[in-house]
Structure 1
Amino acid sequence: MIIKRLILENWKNFPIVDVDLNDRVFIVGPNAAGKSNLLDSIRFLRDVVKQGGGLQYAVENRGGIRKIRSLSARAISHVSIEMHLGEPNDETPKWKYKLVFKHTGGGLFKNEVAITRESVWSREKSDYILNRPNAAEEDSETLKYTHLEQITTNKGFREIYNFFSEIQYLHIVPQLVRDHNSYFLSKDKEDFYGRNFLEKISVVNDRTKKAYLRSINEVLKLAVPQIESLEFKKDNVGIPHLEARYLHWRAKGNKQQEDQFSDGTLRLIGLLWALLDGSETVLLEEPEINLHSEIIKQLPEFISSLQRRKSKTRQVIITTHSYEMLDNSGISSEEILILIPSKEGTAIEVASNLNEINSIIQAGFTPAQATIKITSPKDISKISQLKLF
Structure 2
Amino acid sequence: MGFSLEVKNYRALQEVIWSPSGVCAITGPNGVGKTTLLSSIEFLRHFLERGIHGAVEFSGGTASIKNQHADAEANIRLTLRQSQCYWMVHAWLRSPLIAIGERVRIGEEVVAGQYPDESAAFVQERELTVSGDSVFSHAMSLLPAKQREELKGLHGLASNFRLYQNLQFWSLRTAGSPASTDLYLHSDGRNAFSLLRNWKAGRKEHEERWLFVRDGLRECFPELFEDLEFLVAGQTVTVQFFVRGLRQPIDVYSAPHGLLVALLHLCAIASAPDGGAVAIDEPENGLHPYAIRTLMDLARARAAAKNVTVLLATHSPVVLNTFNTEPERVYIMEPGHAMLPIALTEHSNPEWLSHFSLGDLYSDQAFGAQRRPPK
Shift of 1:203: 4.2
- Give the corresponding residue for 1:168: 162
When residues 189 and 217 of structure 1 are mapped into structure 2, their CA distance, relative to the original with a 3 A threshold, is closer
Indicate whether 1:284 and 2:280 are aligned. Answer: yes
Structure-1 separation of matches of 2:347 and 2:183: 45
When residues 211 and 313 of structure 1 are mapped into structure 2, their CA distance, relative to the original with a 3 A threshold, is closer
Structure-2 separation of matches of 1:214 and 1:190: 15
Q: For residues 113-140 of structure 1, what are the alpha-carbon distances to aligned partners after superposition, in whole Å with 9 as ceiling and x for unaligned?
A: 220x2112213xx432234328998289
Shift of 1:177: 2.2
Shift of 1:348: 2.3
TM-score by length of 1: 0.79
- Equivalent pairs counted in the alignment come to 352
Q: 2:192 aligns with which of 193, 197, 205?
A: 197
- Give the corresponding residue for 2:60: 63
- Give the corresponding residue for 2:103: 119
Q: 1:128 aligns with which of 104, 110, 120?
A: 110
Contiguous gaps of at least 5 residues in structure 2: 122-127
Q: 2:345 aligns with which of 352, 364, 384?
A: 352
Q: Does the 8 Å CA contact 1:334/1:350 hold for their aligned counterparts?
A: yes
Structure-1 separation of matches of 2:183 and 2:304: 31
- Give the corresponding residue for 1:303: 299
- Give the corresponding residue for 1:146: 134
Shift of 1:147: 0.5
Q: Does the 8 Å CA contact 1:147/1:153 hold for their aligned counterparts?
A: no
Structure 2 SS opposite 1:254: coil
Identity %: 18
Q: 1:361 aligns with which of 345, 353, 356?
A: 353
Shift of 1:338: 0.5
When residues 153 and 134 of structure 1 are mapped into structure 2, their CA distance, relative to the original with a 3 A threshold, is farther
TM-score by length of 2: 0.82
Q: 1:83 aligns with which of 75, 80, 93?
A: 80
Q: Does the 8 Å CA contact 1:82/1:99 hold for their aligned counterparts?
A: yes
Q: 1:321 aligns with which of 315, 321, 339?
A: 315
Structure-2 separation of matches of 1:294 and 1:190: 25
Q: For residues 22-68 of structure 1, what are the alpha-carbon distances to aligned partners after superposition, in whole Å with 9 as ceiling and x for unaligned?
A: 23221011111111111100111122223xx2222111222222211
Q: Does the 8 Å CA contact 2:113/2:135 hold for their aligned counterparts?
A: no
Q: Does the 8 Å CA contact 2:199/2:210 hold for their aligned counterparts?
A: no
Structure 2 SS opposite 1:54: helix
Q: Does the 8 Å CA contact 2:226/2:242 hold for their aligned counterparts?
A: yes
Q: 2:92 aligns with which of 95, 99, 102?
A: 102
Indicate whether 1:341 and 2:335 are aligned. Answer: yes
Structure-2 separation of matches of 1:137 and 1:47: 19
Q: For residues 128-178 of structure 1, what are the alpha-carbon distances to aligned partners after superposition, in whole Å with 9 as ceiling and x for unaligned?
A: 223432899828973622201335456644513233222233233422322
Structure 1 SS opposite 2:137: coil
Q: Does the 8 Å CA contact 2:6/2:78 hold for their aligned counterparts?
A: yes
When residues 371 and 20 of structure 1 are mapped into structure 2, their CA distance, relative to the original with a 3 A threshold, is farther
Q: Which amino acid aligns with 1:301?
A: D
Q: Which amino acid aligns with 2:91?
A: F
Structure-1 separation of matches of 2:235 and 2:118: 53
When residues 340 and 378 of structure 1 are mapped into structure 2, their CA distance, relative to the original with a 3 A threshold, is same
When residues 337 and 258 of structure 1 are mapped into structure 2, their CA distance, relative to the original with a 3 A threshold, is same
Provide the aligned C-alpha RMSD in A: 3.2
Shift of 1:182: 8.2
Structure-2 separation of matches of 1:80 and 1:376: 28
Shift of 1:73: 1.1
Moved more, 64-73 or 207-216: 207-216
Shift of 1:339: 0.3
Structure-1 separation of matches of 2:352 and 2:12: 28
Q: For residues 153-209 of structure 1, what are the alpha-carbon distances to aligned partners after superposition, in whole Å with 9 as ceiling and x for unaligned?
A: 56644513233222233233422322318859xx99984224233343344461455
Structure 2 SS opposite 1:378: coil
Structure-1 separation of matches of 2:323 and 2:208: 32
- Give the corresponding residue for 1:386: none
When residues 354 and 294 of structure 1 are mapped into structure 2, their CA distance, relative to the original with a 3 A threshold, is same
Shift of 1:292: 0.2
Q: Does the 8 Å CA contact 1:229/1:246 hold for their aligned counterparts?
A: yes
Q: Does the 8 Å CA contact 2:201/2:207 hold for their aligned counterparts?
A: yes
Structure-2 separation of matches of 1:177 and 1:345: 42
Structure-1 separation of matches of 2:237 and 2:51: 29
- Give the corresponding residue for 1:91: none
Structure-2 separation of matches of 1:146 and 1:370: 44
Q: Which amino acid aligns with 2:326?
A: S
When residues 292 and 12 of structure 1 are mapped into structure 2, their CA distance, relative to the original with a 3 A threshold, is same
Contiguous gaps of at least 5 residues in structure 1: 87-93, 107-111, 381-389
Moved more, 240-249 or 287-296: 240-249
Shift of 1:21: 1.9
Shift of 1:274: 1.9
Q: 1:256 aligns with which of 244, 247, 250?
A: 250
Structure-2 separation of matches of 1:360 and 1:176: 46
Q: 1:230 aligns with which of 228, 231, 254?
A: 228
Shift of 1:243: 1.8
Q: 1:332 aligns with which of 323, 326, 332?
A: 326
- Give the corresponding residue for 1:27: 26
Structure 1 SS opposite 2:218: helix
Structure-1 separation of matches of 2:47 and 2:238: 30
Structure-1 separation of matches of 2:323 and 2:61: 42
